[in-house]
């Protein structure tokens, strides 16, 4: 019975190690070792009844959609000669945005205040180069109307002027099918979101009822972060948010197998493409009816779209306002763009705990001014908050350590009689008032909090390029000299040495081997995460030492004895 508590903790520890190893394998492009999932095939057959369409077109509503439901899918008509398109680059103080006059689409976004992993250039999110396809389209479907393949006329500014707070660019399509489409983008100083006004002009003599689509197309192979920057494989893929079902993540593999589960219709929310640290999203105002669609495009491309109906009388104009966001996952910024958009910052199942932890971390940073010291201060506050609860666990361990000599002697006497050994062990526990499970509950209660903090540090874009001290120039990348991982390993071994020696020789060996194996992985982890673990280890050692002294159990180092 005295091994039960320790066994439970080792099971939790081992399972965590297995999960981390699995995600490491996946992040490096290999199949998961223990929990493999089917990988999407390189290509997919078109759904039954759907016409073959060019890549990067708005997804069909159903598997039986007709060719007229998607732009460019008009096989019966000979294509008209294409007009020459032009790329227009617009600069603000925080980003450089490239539009294509073909459809007035956003084809490149460069963030001027965020450096790439190699520090040689700025972060580029949307782009269309070999190995990296990520685009934002919009247009009209439901007839031969202007769409994202229609070449448009550009007008507007290309540079945010000194003293100006915004600039506008406009793309106007030629008349097509009795309809013209005018897109006006408004970019603001200090903002990553753009106001997009879509004006549908009926130039004919009959009512028109097209549908406006807002779409994001992305390659599944487009990097969402290496193992170094994203060691646990945070979510990458499309997402849909509605007031009813809230934030719904959609796996690329589910789209491939036509098993994507999300709310298809709504009058609120947004669509997004999510990856580590950065995101893009289309937002429509609340009250505007929209249909959500996802689709596997040609090759390795996937799309997520919103489609909303438009009804325009002859000679009239109907305007639909939208917002396009492409930028870093800064919570306060995301919250200001649209309700629920901050959920693209992937905290997983611990969001309810992670969000207040991030809020506190952000407040500490506002006071301290350094993310490294803020991490340490936050861990200290958490340890203080859980001090008395954790003290109960350490008191139980101290009692176990005090009676350990008796238990070891008893086990030696009754090593050939397991039943008698268990009876004598329970007798010792009753006499000494020791509960073998006494240390489990306090530790179990704290586990979700520290896992939530782990996800806060892993997901916060603020850590990118944030220095701590001396050689730590970026808390989101590994320690270049491996000093922090070595310190973390030493503190882990020191903490292990302070624990009671398990009576079982095999468990005694595992008590040393498992932390050592786990520590090796921290050599690849971002420095901010390692700093968090070191701070937690040091504070735990200090607390355990203090409680042992108070309990009259002098601290001693139980070194391994391998034979």
Average pLDDT of span 336-365: 91
Mean pLDDT of the chain: 80
For the chain, the distance separating the N- and C-terminal CA atoms, rounded to the nearest angstrom, is 25
Q: What is the pLDDT of residues 280-320, one digit of tens each?
A: 999 999 999 999 999 999 888 999 999 999 999 999 999 99
> Which pLDDT value is given to residue 524?
83
Cα–Cα distances (Å) from 17 to 50, 427, 522, in that order, read: 45, 36, 11
User: Which residue's entry shows tokens 């009676």?
Assistant: 403
pLDDT digits (tens, 9 = 90+) for 120-161: 899 999 999 988 999 999 999 999 999 999 999 999 999 999
Q: What is the pLDDT of residue 60?
A: 42
Q: How confident is the model at residue 526 (pLDDT cuts 50, 70, 90)?
A: confident
Q: How much is the average pLDDT of 457-478?
A: 90
pLDDT in tens, 502-524: 656 666 666 667 777 777 778 88
Q: What is the pTM of this model?
A: 0.77
Q: Stretch 13-41: mean pLDDT, rounded?
A: 48
DSSP string for 261-308: ----EESS-EEEEE-SSEEEEEE--TT--EEEEEEE-STTEEEEEEEE
Q: What are phi and psi of 180, to 5 degrees?
A: -115, 150
Taking each helix axis from N to C end, the angle separating 371-385 and 387-413, rounded to the nearest 10 degrees, works out to 70
Measuring CA to CA, which residue among 59, 85, 321, 288 is closest to residue 182? 321
DSSP string, 325-356: EEEE--HHHHHHHSTTGGGGS--GGGHHHHHH
User: What are 178-197's pLDDT values in tens digits?
Assistant: 999 999 999 999 999 999 99
The most confident of the ranges 56-65, 404-413, 448-457, 471-480 is 471-480
DSSP letters for 202-247: E-SSS-B--EEEEEEEEETTS-S--TTT-TT----EEEEEETTTEE
Looking at residue 503, the DSSP 8-state letter turns out to be S
If you write DSSP's letter for every residue of 162-174 in order, what string do you get? TT-SEEEEEEEPP
The average pLDDT across 439-463 equals 79
DSSP for 90-110 reads EE-SSEEEEEETBTTEEEEEE
Residue with tokens 């479907």: 141
What six digits make up the tokens of 75?
A: 């096989």
Other Cβ atoms less than 10 A from the Cβ of 261: the count is: 11
Domain boundaries, the chain: 87-346, 358-550
- Both structure tokens of 277: 């640290």
Residue 50 DSSP SS3:
coil
The answer to whether residues 219 and 4 touch, using CB atoms and an 8 Å cutoff, is no
CA pair distance 146, 132, nearest whole angstrom: 26
What is the distance between the alpha carbons of residues 32 and 424, in angstroms, rounded to a whole number?
45
With both helix axes pointing from N to C terminus, report the angle between 4-27 and 505-521 in degrees, rounded to the nearest 10: 30
Residue 460 has pLDDT above 80, yes or no: yes
pLDDT of 76 over the 50 cut: no
Cross-strand partners of 151: 102
Answer whether 183's CB lies under 8 Å from 197's CB.
yes
DSSP 434: -
Q: Which residues pair with 127 in a beta bridge?
A: 134
Asked if residue 277 has pLDDT above 50, the reply is yes
Place of tokens 């006006």: 184
Q: Report the CATH fold assignment for 87-346.
A: Beta-galactosidase; Chain A, domain 5 (2.70.98)
Pairing, β 246-249 against β 105-115: unpaired
Closest-CA residue to 276 (of 218, 336, 235, 219): 235
**Cα–Cα distance measured from residue 50 to residue 64, given in angstroms and rounded to the nearest whole number:** 6
pLDDT recorded at residue 79:
44
The predicted pLDDT at position 540 comes to 84
The answer on pLDDT for 108 being more than 60 is: yes
Can you read off the two tokens belonging to residue 480? Answer: 């270049």
């Amino acid at each position: 019975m005295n091994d039960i508590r320790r066994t439970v903790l080792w099971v939790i520890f081992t399972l965590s190690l297995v999960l981390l190893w699995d995600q490491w394998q996946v992040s490096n492009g290999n199949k998961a070792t223990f929990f493999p999932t089917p990988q999407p095939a390189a290509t997919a057959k078109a759904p039954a009844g759907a016409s073959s369409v060019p890549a990067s077109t708005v997804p069909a509503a159903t598997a039986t959609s007709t060719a007229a439901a998607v732009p460019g899918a008009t096989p019966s008509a000979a294509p008209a000669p294409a007009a020459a398109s032009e790329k227009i680059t617009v600069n603000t103080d925080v980003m450089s945005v490239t539009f294509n006059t073909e459809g007035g689409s956003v084809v490149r976004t460069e963030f001027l205040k965020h450096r790439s992993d190699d520090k040689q250039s700025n972060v580029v999110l949307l782009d269309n180069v070999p190995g990296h396809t990520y685009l934002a389209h919009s247009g009209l479907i439901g007839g031969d109307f202007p769409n994202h393949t229609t070449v448009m006329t550009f007008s507007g500014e290309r540079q945010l002027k000194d003293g100006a707070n915004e600039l506008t660019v406009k793309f106007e399509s030629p008349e097509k099918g009795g309809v013209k489409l005018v897109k006006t983008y408004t970019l603001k100083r200090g903002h990553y979101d753009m106001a997009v006004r879509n004006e549908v002009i009926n130039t004919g003599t009959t009512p028109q009822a097209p549908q406006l689509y807002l779409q994001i197309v992305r390659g599944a192979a487009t990097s969402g972060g290496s193992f170094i920057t994203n060691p646990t494989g945070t979510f990458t893929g499309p997402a849909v948010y509605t007031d009813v079902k809230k934030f719904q993540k959609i796996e690329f593999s589910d789209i491939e197998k036509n098993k994507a589960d999300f709310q298809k219709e709504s009058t609120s929310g947004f669509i997004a493409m999510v990856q580590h640290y950065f995101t893009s999203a289309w937002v429509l105002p609340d009250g505007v009816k929209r249909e959500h669609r996802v689709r596997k495009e040609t090759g390795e491309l996937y799309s997520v779209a919103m489609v909303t109906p438009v009804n325009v009388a002859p000679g009239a104009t109907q305007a639909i306002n939208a917002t396009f966001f492409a930028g870093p996952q800064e919570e306060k910024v995301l919250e200001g763009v649209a309700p629920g958009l901050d959920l693209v910052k992937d905290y997983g199942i611990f969001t309810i705990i992670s969000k207040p932890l991030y809020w506190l971390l952000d407040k500490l940073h506002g006071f301290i001014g350094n993310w490294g010291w803020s991490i340490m201060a936050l861990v200290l506050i958490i340890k203080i908050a859980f001090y008395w609860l954790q003290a109960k666990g350490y008191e139980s361990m101290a009692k176990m350590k005090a009676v350990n000599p008796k238990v070891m002697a008893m086990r030696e006497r009754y090593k050939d009689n397991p039943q008698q050994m268990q009876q004598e062990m329970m007798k010792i526990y009753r006499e000494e008032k020791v509960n073998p499970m006494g240390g489990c509950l306090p530790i179990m209660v704290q586990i979700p909090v520290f896992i939530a903090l782990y996800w806060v540090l892993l997901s916060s874009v603020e850590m990118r390029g944030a220095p701590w001290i001396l050689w730590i120039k970026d808390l989101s990348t590994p320690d270049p000299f491996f000093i922090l991982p070595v310190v973390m390993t030493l503190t882990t071994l020191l903490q292990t040495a302070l624990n009671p020696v398990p009576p079982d020789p095999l468990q005694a060996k595992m008590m040393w081997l498992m932390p050592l194996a786990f520590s090796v992985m921290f050599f690849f982890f971002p420095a901010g995460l390692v700093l968090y673990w070191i701070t937690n280890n040091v504070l735990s050692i200090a607390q355990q030492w203090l409680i042992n002294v108070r309990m009259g159990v002098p601290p001693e180092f139980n070194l391994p004895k391998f034979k």
